[in-house]
Structure 1
Amino acid sequence: MKMHNFNSGPSILPQEVLIQSAEAIHNFNNLGLSILEIGHRTSWFKDVLDEAISLIKELMQLGSDHEILFLHGGATTQFMQVPMNLLDNGETASYCDNGIWGSKAIKEAKLFGNVHVAASSKDKGHTYINKGFTVPADSKYLHYTTNNTVEGTQWHSLPETEVPLVADMSSDIFSRPLPYSNFGLIYAGAQKNMGAAGVNLVVIRKDVLGKVQRAIPAIMDYRNHIEAGSLLNTPPVFAIYVSLLTLRWIKKEGGLAEMEKRAKQRAGLLYNTLETLPAFKPTVAKEDRSLMNAVFVMTNPELEAPFLDACKQNGMIGVKGHRSVGGLRVSMYNALPMESVEAFVQLMKDFSDKHS
């Protein structure tokens, strides 16, 4: 039975990346050594790191003003590392609260300075993006989550602000072209669109650093990681290698414009089907629906369990919604083939016909 992987993360990877990764575990670049056992300061790994950084800058169209880091700790670590480096005691940063990850980032930032919640969508259960807000001019930065994996919302344009933009792009990184040079800082866990779990990408515009007075632990100071070229401590070598393979695949397939085209095709088919089947109901405002994570419910809640059973029987995994919101969720990251969405849509139609 063919498996269709709709997991929200760790999630689907391109088949060729899986094959190449498996080969490298046994014999990396015909060296007779595994990627798991090469030294992180060898020229072999330096080539991996340099190429990955080069591809990121190429895909994002970034110049020398931005630095690329591969760090431990996932995006969650950045909830505190960002304000530790950018927000001084007594200063204020603005945050958008559009879901669980924005809320957690706010909680961590309050440990280092003042937080102004510039926009919130709590009033409607985070089913939309609140875009009508202003950012105080004295804010050190504006932090927002570009795509809310749990709630199924996504920013389809950049927030308008004069202060530096800080973005958690964990679930839509490399899925579309954006003016990436406009951001002061971007961070993203790799395990959705750019590789395997275990590494965190951080993209920093250098002019936002060095402005806080506090003492920063060495391992948490971005400047130290920049100086060490992501080798301040032993990096997650294998996870970075899988990211390199994934970045190569994105470029080979046509880059970010092609990724966005495919994302719109997948999401368009699914959302259009949801609109036409009475058994299912989308929960997110139409203009704010995510191209990565479609969240919806059954019109009759009693049919949810039978539908999830039907998904399991047909090799469709990861469809159950996040435990905090319930319902159903289909994640459609870069590597998901259109045929998986087509198969899921057909299952929805068959189920709806059977239970209408």
Structure 2
Amino acid sequence: MSRVWNFSAGPAALPEEVLRQAAEEMLDWHGAGMGVMEMSHRGKEFVAIAEAAEADLRELLAVPANYRILFMQGGAIAENAIIPMNLLGDKVVADYVLTGSWSVKSYKEARKYGQMNVAASAEATGFTAVPAMCDWQLSADPAYVFTCTNETIGGVEYPFEPDLAQIGRGEVPVVADMSSHILSRVIDVSKYGLIFGGAQKNIGPAGLTIVIVREDLLGRAMALCPSAFDYRTVAEAGSMYNTPPTYAIYIAGLVFQWLKRQGGVAAMEARNVAKARLLYDYLDGSGFYESRVDPACRSRMNVPFFLKDESLNDAFLSGAKEAGLVQLKGHKSVGGMRASIYNAMPIEGVAALVDYMKAFAARHG
């Protein structure tokens, strides 16, 4: 059978090139006589794979030398607890900016470990925009400010990098959940104290969590923090304090190599801008579909949209599947539709979606 256009929010589509290479290496990686998932994580073969993956990620994001890259487990949801356990240190409060479902979940989880202050919230407008930094009300001495720079469910993406120096609070580390748009756009890592994300959206298979943390933030873990989740312990062990998700790291490494062959993050950003523009321009001009997100804060990666006649939702999804367009149903908490168009989705897939949407609107409009 031919492959479908997969618009899943995660686990998500992977580059076909990467999948073919992984298939070719499944039984015998580079003459080792075994596949990667069978290797010892401490053997020279896998150590080389992990080191190359880390080096390529560092190059792609221009990660400064004073940041450590950690390969962890538990997904972004686990990091919602791991972060306060590691970063609160001797402080009693951290600040959270609420822009949608995932930042709200992060805030609620963190409250188990300390006093959490809502520095800003977009709840009053239905989480359809990002509060301007000038409106953030930071605590007097927060351990960090938490942001989710792309909300996968609501389709809201920060149109700016949260540089607290602009509001005179540059000493406060910014934490950013970038699960669903990391590597999709150029960022300045030095503006953040910690960046994290589950790999299953824009990097690789589920099971791997990427953490990029500034070195001065290591060594602050609470006594109750499990050793396997203590950032300093993980860093000192080269992400191998316990057995890491080896196959997920291998696939992520192949994706990093693929990204480099595409021209790197800047080249991918240009493609992502073109893909998002194609879809949003049609949505805005269709008269049949609508986007409810503030145009200034629309995500390039996750595009929720609604049929103006929602009684047609089932017919839309059924027809889309017949056309080879899958995983378009919106998250249960918001309804409607959602197209996730990560790096691995080529513009041809977005064009196929727009063509189907036009044909469906013509039949039912």
**TM-score, length of structure 2 as denominator length:** 0.95
CA distance, structure 2, for counterparts of residue 215 and residue 351 of structure 1: 55
CA distance, structure 2, for counterparts of residue 24 and residue 212 of structure 1: 39
Residue 59 of structure 1, CA deviation: 1.1
CA distance, structure 1, for counterparts of residue 206 and residue 224 of structure 2: 30
Residues 81-122 of structure 1: per-residue CA shift (max 9 Å, x gap): 000011147611001111111111111111111111111111
**Which residue number in structure 2 is paired with residue 135 of structure 1?**
138
Residue 218 of structure 1, CA deviation: 1.3
**Which residue number in structure 1 is paired with residue 158 of structure 2?**
155
**Structure 1 vs Structure 2 CA RMSD:** 1.3
Residues 21-72 of structure 1: per-residue CA shift (max 9 Å, x gap): 1222211112111111111000101101111111111111123200011011
Of 183, 187, 207, which residue of structure 2 is paired with 1:198? 207
Query: What amino acid does structure 1 have at the position aligned with 2:351?
Result: E
Comparing 87-96 with 139-148, greater Cα deviation is found at 87-96
**Which residue number in structure 2 is paired with residue 284 of structure 1?**
293
CA distance, structure 1, for counterparts of residue 309 and residue 107 of structure 2: 35
Residue 2 of structure 1, CA deviation: 4.9
1:240 aligns with 2:249: yes
Residue 345 of structure 1, CA deviation: 0.5
1:253 aligns with 2:277: no
Is contact 1:88-1:112 (8 Å) kept?
no
1:211/1:34 CA distance change after superposition, 3 Å: closer
Query: What amino acid does structure 1 have at the position aligned with 2:293?
Result: V
**Which residue number in structure 2 is paired with residue 101 of structure 1?**
102
The SS at the match of 2:240 is coil
Of 266, 278, 282, which residue of structure 2 is paired with 1:269? 278
Is contact 2:82-2:225 (8 Å) kept?
no
Is contact 2:64-2:189 (8 Å) kept?
no
**Which residue number in structure 2 is paired with residue 20 of structure 1?**
21
The SS at the match of 2:68 is strand
CA distance, structure 2, for counterparts of residue 144 and residue 308 of structure 1: 33
Of 168, 179, 195, which residue of structure 2 is paired with 1:186? 195
Query: What amino acid does structure 2 have at the position aligned with 1:269?
Result: L
Structure 2, unmatched stretches of 5+, are: 165-169
**Which residue number in structure 1 is paired with residue 186 of structure 2?**
177
**Which residue number in structure 2 is paired with residue 309 of structure 1?**
318
**Which residue number in structure 1 is paired with residue 176 of structure 2?**
167
Is contact 1:61-1:181 (8 Å) kept?
no
The SS at the match of 1:28 is coil
Is contact 1:320-1:328 (8 Å) kept?
yes
CA distance, structure 1, for counterparts of residue 237 and residue 185 of structure 2: 30
Is contact 1:321-1:329 (8 Å) kept?
yes
CA distance, structure 2, for counterparts of residue 349 and residue 217 of structure 1: 52
Residue 137 of structure 1, CA deviation: 4.2
Percent same amino acid among aligned pairs?
Answer: 40
**Which residue number in structure 2 is paired with residue 121 of structure 1?**
122
The SS at the match of 2:37 is coil
**TM-score, length of structure 1 as denominator length:** 0.97
Query: What amino acid does structure 1 have at the position aligned with 2:241?
Result: L
**Count of aligned positions:** 356
